[in-house]
Structure 1
Amino acid sequence: MKFSSERLHLIEFDEELLNNEILSWFQNPDLMKYYTNSKVPITKEVLLNAITAGRTDHNNFTYFIVHSESNDIIGTLKLGPINKHHKTSDLVALIGETGYGKGIGTEAIKLGIRLAFEKYDIRKLLGGMYASNIGSIKAYTRAGWIVEGVLHGHYLNNNKNEDRILVGCFNPKYFTDIEIKNAKYKKWYDEN
């Protein structure tokens, strides 16, 4: 299965394509500000161990996001961990290279949705992000995700409590339009 859009396509992670430029994304404080909850530095060894373990366990899958015109790898997409019983998974998109046009993150997330629903038969995608990470919240909601709730004071960010915004994306194969509509967190939409 090939997953492509107007400007992007996905390819499975290949260690031979992992270069210093891609690894530098995981050392960039601006990109990593919201990327990991543990705040543990992501080295090449840590990254490869996680990808290998996910493949072995069949519950985490990593893809490169490729700009189709230039064939440049501009980001990564991680699907997992997958809960096989409930058919749920997290989906994380990281755009490491900028300058490829407005909305590229949203386009990558939409590809991730197709990958999750069509290849892995995921019933529901879920995730959470810092409330101050407005760019990610907008990218995910523009890609069709909805805000389902808020975990108040979930993160400790610069010694201050910060909310975690909970987002979800529902596979229409498993959910009706009414179920999806009723899942929206009303307060979030009323206040913003």
Structure 2
Amino acid sequence: MIFTGALETPQLWLRTLDESAATGPYLAWMQDAEILRFLEARFGRHTPESLADFIHSMNQNPDALLLGMFFKGDDGRAGRHVGNIKLGPVNREHARGDIGLLIGDKSVWGRGLATEAIAALTRYAFEQLRLNRLYAGCYGGNDGSVRAFVKAGWAVEARLPRYWRLDDSWADHIILGCLNPAA
């Protein structure tokens, strides 16, 4: 998906990543079990090459958008990469798409960044891409993620019991959705 410029929220700039982002903080996040606990990415082995390939493939995909989340804070670390948010795949026939995100920088957990990023990408998807529906899924127990989507105007649409294996037990699959009010 061709995207130029950036989306701005009160605390973040959301902009396209380039392959140089595959090292440093992003690589460290993808090797941290606590950060990956509720993501299927926890089953993969992540290297600078695999992350660069992922970024490249997302940037070449006409039905996907991967944006880095860059903190605007005034704490001397402004501009640092704190997470990623993805739209896609987008199904153009049915005007719907999937959103997923990762806040990798633990020092900014709980500051509402996920809510801001979700709301900004939701507006972009509805206003610029004219999508009718967005959806997301998350593990039961990932209460912060559910709260972030709900605060951004989404609704919990379904819960599939015992869907994911998590540690030594089972977690539900929570499906969240948002409809374009202008459609």
TM-score by length of 2: 0.84
Q: Which runs of 4+ in 1 moved over 3 A?
A: 98-101
Match of 2:11 in 1: 7
Structure 2 CA distance for aligned equivalents of residues 47 and 118 of structure 1 = 30
DSSP 3-state at the match of 2:67:
strand
Structure 1 CA distance for aligned equivalents of residues 121 and 152 of structure 2 = 10
Structure 2 CA distance for aligned equivalents of residues 51 and 73 of structure 1 = 14
In structure 1, which of residues 100, 103, 106 is the aligned counterpart of residue 112 of structure 2? Answer: 103
Q: How does 1:53-68 map to 2 (within 5 A)?
A: 53-68=57-72
Q: CA offset at residue 82 of structure 1? A: 1.2
List runs of 5+ in structure 2 lacking aligned partners.
Answer: none
Match of 1:181 in 2: none
TM-score by length of 1: 0.81
In structure 1, which of residues 47, 54, 57 is the aligned counterpart of residue 51 of structure 2? Answer: 47
Structure 2 CA distance for aligned equivalents of residues 44 and 59 of structure 1 = 24
Query: Which one scores higher on RCO, CA 8 angstroms, separation ≥ 6?
Result: 2
The amino acid of 2:11's aligned partner reads R
Q: CA offset at residue 152 of structure 1? A: 1.5
CA change 1:74–1:80 in 2 (3 A) is same
Match of 1:150 in 2: 159
Structure 2 CA distance for aligned equivalents of residues 103 and 26 of structure 1 = 21
The amino acid of 2:50's aligned partner reads V
Structure 1 CA distance for aligned equivalents of residues 23 and 48 of structure 2 = 10
Structure 1 CA distance for aligned equivalents of residues 100 and 82 of structure 2 = 14
List runs of 5+ in structure 1 lacking aligned partners.
Answer: 175-192
Equivalent residues of 2:18, 2:55 under 8 A apart: no
Match of 1:163 in 2: 172
CA RMSD of aligned residues (A): 2.0
Q: CA offset at residue 10 of structure 1? A: 0.8
Number of positions where the alignment pairs a residue of Structure 1 with one of Structure 2: 174
DSSP 3-state at the match of 2:63:
coil
Structure 2 CA distance for aligned equivalents of residues 27 and 120 of structure 1 = 33
